Chain A
Amino acid sequence: MIQKELICIVCPIGCLITAEIDEDGTIGKVSGNSCPRGKEYAINELKHPVRTLTSTMIVANRDNAVIPVKTDRAIPKEKLFEIMDIINRSSAAAPIKIGDILIKDVFEGSNVVATGSME
């Protein structure tokens, strides 16, 4: 069994979490987290790290305007640049409301949604 320490990124408290990993890769006891989200984060992080991607997208019908966006689900860490590329090759059209889906199913059911509004 090995112990792995990681810093939780779920919220700004940044708990130092210790996870026990058996020889066969099974994750055992998780400690140091101060909420259930922390445990979930630690397990995900050890198995397959995911991140919510935030960026901006060009608004085609407004002068020099961009709208803030995010993926509505966390996506695998290694896909971040691929999805950045898709966002940067796309554009949105105003009016846009917060929560509007701007790119549908960008990765395995995750959408790119607007996090701001523009008239």
Chain B
Amino acid sequence: MKNVDLIVIGAGPAGMAAALCVYEEGIRNILVLDRAEKPGGILQQCIHNGFGLHKFGEELTGPEYAAKYSEKIISSGIQCLFGTSVLSITKDKLVTAINNKSGMFTIQSKAIILAMGCRERSRGALGIPGSRPAGIYTAGTAQWFVNIKGEMPGKNVVILGSGDIGLIMARRLTLEGAKVQAVCELMPYSGGLNRNIVQCLNDFSIPLKLSHTISKIHGESRVTGVTVSKVDVNLNVIETESEYIPCDTILLSVGLIPENELTKGAGITLDSVTGGAVVNQNRQTETEGVFACGNVLHVHDLVDFVSEEAELAGKAAAEYIKGGKKEAYEKVVLRPGNGVRYTVPQIIEKNADNDEIKLYFRVGGIIENASVVMESEGETAFSKYRRKMVPGEMEYIVIKRDILEKMHGTVIIKVEQGAKK
């Protein structure tokens, strides 16, 4: 059986950045596996711009951002196997994969970085009544058709969900000559970034219908229209406030789900809210030597933060490969409290070599004039004022070492309304 130091599963932005980071730390026996035929992951179809401002200080399109890494990967000589699907991984770091050249094979690795990304929530998960005609796509599938295949999915479109991909596709389809009738969002706020509402919807006068959903899909062989209804505070359809919108295409942009079948198969602990693994600040899962980064861990808004996270995982993986098992440190377990949906990391290992820790979290609703509070043993260990926080945008706080020293056991992170700093 072949032995390697590191296997990276996925050659999207997370996998590429992680592999390069480990390479730069001096590890050479690296293998990157991806089921696609070339590196870049979903960035290849994200032809719009706005990537890389944080990371590179310039505004790049998706393929340009991917090229920054893929060119380095190729010139470094890191071994990549494309067209290769990983079938299973184990806690002992055995990776079984398959491709049409070698068939099925198993490799023993010292460490594994999980970078499989996420997939889109589809119609089946929503339970929209109506028939099953052609013309219903997830926004990402439509994006693939338009941007990779050069084909339009339809002419007259209604989009359900105001996630970023849906907003981006509203603009893209409009520019290519389609009529986007409306974007319907179940919640009273958008799930996408503000800038995308401005430049993708407002620029083209596409209405955003908040607190609205598609309550019925019409059509036999092809979509002929949808019934769009207002919803009440409990998100139930108000039948009397419904309208029929004729259309031939429906796009769904209703959320992304980290793709963790391999992680689950290995018995690695997952966070029920993020859908990704439970990790420490170095993005190590509860299984030593298995790390996770990018959208497989939690869905990010910005690829720049994916790259940043991948570097954390990469550095830690390189250290693990070099040094093997480390002594056990005091663990602080973070628990989301009032207003906070989740945190990444979920565990902080004290005395690990971090001067400060960036703690990412998402809030459950729009919150204005509030403080993010961390409570340890009944006392406030950290408090930071925020003017506004929205569920669509990932938030973070930076915890310095001296603050961290004050935390023990289980620490609650919550939002306290009205508290000024």
Contact = CB atoms under 8 A, between A and B. Distances in A.
Contacts of A12: 50, 53, 193, 195, 301-302
Contacts of A51: 199, 203
Interface string B155-192: 00000000000000000000110000000000000000
A11 interface: yes
A46 B146 CA distance: 32
B303 to A, nearest CB: 10
A4 B147 CA distance: 36
B61 A115 contact: yes
B225 to A, nearest CB: 26
Given A7-B194, A12-B195, A115 B47 contact: yes
B104 interface: no
B84 interface: no
B61 A54 contact: yes
Interface in B30-63: 44, 47-50, 53-54, 59, 61-63
Contacts of A115: 47, 61, 63-64
A108 B149 CA distance: 30
B193 A54 contact: no
Contacts of A11: 50, 53-54, 59, 195
A10 B198 contact: no
A98 B66 CA distance: 11
Contacts of A68: 47, 61-63, 147
A70 B51 CA distance: 13
Contacts, number: 81
Interface string A30-74: 000000000000000000000111111010000011101110000
A98 B63 contact: yes
B150 interface: yes
A54 B157 CA distance: 20
A28 interface: no
A6 B195 CA distance: 10
A10 B302 CA distance: 13
A93 interface: no
B86 to A, nearest CB: 26
A54 B51 CA distance: 13
A54 B47 contact: yes
Contacts of B50: 11-12
B47 A55 contact: yes
Contact of A56 (B54, B62, B146, B301): B146
Most buried by B among A53, A55, A88: A55
Contacts of B176: 55, 84, 88
B148 interface: yes
B67 interface: yes
A54 B63 CA distance: 11
A116 B47 CA distance: 9
A86 interface: no
27 contacts: A7-B198, A9-B195, A10-B53, A10-B195, A12-B53, A12-B195, A12-B301, A51-B203, A54-B47, A55-B175, A56-B47, A56-B146, A65-B150, A66-B149, A68-B47, A69-B47, A70-B47, A70-B49, A70-B61, A77-B203, A80-B175, A84-B176, A98-B63, A98-B67, A116-B47, A116-B63, A116-B64
Interface of B: 44, 47-50, 53-54, 59, 61-64, 67, 146-150, 175-176, 193-195, 197-199, 203, 301-302, 393
Given A56-B150, A65-B150, 18 more contacts: A6-B198, A7-B194, A9-B199, A11-B50, A11-B195, A12-B53, A14-B193, A54-B49, A54-B61, A66-B147, A68-B61, A68-B63, A68-B147, A70-B49, A77-B203, A84-B176, A115-B61, A116-B63
